[in-house]
Amino acid sequence: MTLRLDERDEARLAGDEGPAVRTAIRVVTRLATVMGADRLLDVTGAHIDSCLYHGQAVLDFADHLADAGARVAVPTTLNVSSLDLLHPELDRGDPVESRQSRRLMERFEEMGCRPTWTCAPYQLETRPSFGEQVAWAESNAIVFANSVLGARTHRYGDFADICCAIIGRAPAAGLHLDENRRATVVVRLQGVSSELIGRDVLYPVLGGLIGRLVGRGVPVVDGLPPGVSEDRLKALGAASAATGTVGMFHMVGSTPEASTLVDALHGREPDEEVAVTAADLRAARDRLSTTTDDRLRTVSLGTPHYSITEIGRLVELLGDGRVADGVAFYVSTGRDIYHEVELRGWADRLADAGVTVVTDTCTYFTPIIEDLGGTAMTDSAKWAYYAPGNLGVEVVFGSVEDCVASAMTGRVVRDESIWADA
């Protein structure tokens, strides 16, 4: 398929709008060719993952663009960085790398990006609406935008994201197009108890299983009660994007393009149907743990960043209690959410309970955790999937209720009863 460019795109390639724009459109048109797009389309916003420091090459590219005068053409938010600017005392990394990380953040701000520093831009006050074309990076944000908001973005990564933002254009391919948003795999729960279906912990576990099952497919979950909350959909999407390459899912009665199963399938038969049993879910949960050692050292929540509702639930579970001596407890959230936490008086309560709030970054790749030698516990399938490889830490996955109970007793405890067959 031949890529056709309009007059302005051709002028940009010729350098009429300067070297930064020329670099950006060269990257986007090359990507469009690889994706088989026949044209570019306008986007109304972008979310950038390139602001996370992975080495000198990332900073070099940002320097190249910023030094050439690059400015984003559409409202653009920034993903987590490698530093918590609100709590710099948490940084345990190499000082030189920290300076490089800070410089990278500054360069993206110079290009006109909003310093939001969150992996959950959909929790900001302004977010894309149904059918809106955007260019988002960060896997959990991508799947949420497509699935829960009904906005349209493909899976963009470093460098492509900022280039799309600079020209306000993206390839007309992938999940931007109707035909690629059709559900291809039907997932049905079978013999799963109503108690488990009613618990938050089902959704990251189911998402982790779905990611392994469908790969690049577009799954549709059928049979769950309608009106599943955004936090639960967030957890499912983040897990499926981490363990697989899911960029979009449907849930009948809960996501905007799946009011019925027929709608999600675009009136066609699925490529595959999968039954998920209680035993499948328990096995998926167990795969998210790397140890049976119950000597707890760390708890980490908030991957993706916790919402205000999730932090409210954490405060409720903590009650008047406190984390046991010897246990480090972290919860990550966006700075916008943290501001609301402070307004509600929860920041002091969390600190009194021994909980450290992390903003702007995430504990599975930033050197914040004090002791990596003991067992770490999380309610995030994404954190459980990445932290062992990134940090070398042994992980136990559990519900948020399990995590709080474990932190307060100083050893791993989990409610096993909810994982039994119906």
All residues at 6 or more sequence positions from 352 whose CB lies less than 8 Å from its CB, including other chains: 322
| CA angle at 71 for the pair 109 and 26, rounded to the nearest 5° | 120
CA distance 146 to 267: 19
pLDDT band at 195 (very low <50, low <70, confident <90, very high): very high
Residue 422 in this model has a pLDDT that exceeds 80: no
The number of CA neighbours under 13 Å toward the Cβ of 7 is 0
* pLDDT tens-place string over residues 340-373: 999 999 999 999 999 999 999 999 988 999 889 8
All residues at 6 or more sequence positions from 47 whose CB lies less than 8 Å from its CB, including other chains: 76, 77, 78, 79, 121, 134, 135, 136, 137, 138, 141, 161
Could you tell me if 332 and 359 are in contact, meaning their C-beta atoms sit under 8 angstroms apart? yes
CA distance 30 to 45: 21
User: Is the peptide bond preceding residue 304 cis, with omega within 30 degrees of 0?
Assistant: yes
CA distance 253 to 295: 41
CA distance 103 to 93: 15
CA distance 25 to 167: 7
In this chain, the answer to whether the domains covering 7-178 and 289-419 adopt an identical fold is yes
Six-digit token string for 228: 């599943």
pLDDT of residue 279: 96
CATH topology classification for 289-419: Aconitase; domain 3 (3.30.499)
Check whether domain 7-178 has CATH 3.30.499.10, yes or no:
yes
pTM above 0.95, yes or no: yes
CA distance 339 to 12: 41
Calculate the CA dihedral of residues 378, 148, 139, 245 and round it to 10 degrees: 100
Could you tell me if 331 and 350 are in contact, meaning their C-beta atoms sit under 8 angstroms apart? yes
Residue 57 in this model has a pLDDT that exceeds 90: yes
Q: Which of 134, 137, 127, 114 is nearest to 335 (CA)?
A: 114
Query: How is the beta sheet containing 250-251 ordered, strand by strand?
Result: 250-251, 219-222, 185-190, 272-277
Please give the span between the terminal C-alpha atoms of the chain, in angstroms, as a whole number.
Answer: 51
Q: Which of 327, 332, 325 is nearest to 366 (CA)?
A: 332
* pLDDT tens-place string over residues 88-143: 999 999 999 999 999 999 999 999 999 999 999 999 999 999 999 999 999 999 99
| Alpha-carbon 235 to chain mean position | 9
Q: Where are the domains of the chain?
A: 7-178, 182-286, 289-419
* pLDDT tens-place string over residues 209-265: 999 999 889 999 999 999 999 999 999 999 999 999 999 999 999 999 999 999 999
185: phi then psi, degrees, rounded to nearest 5: -130, 125
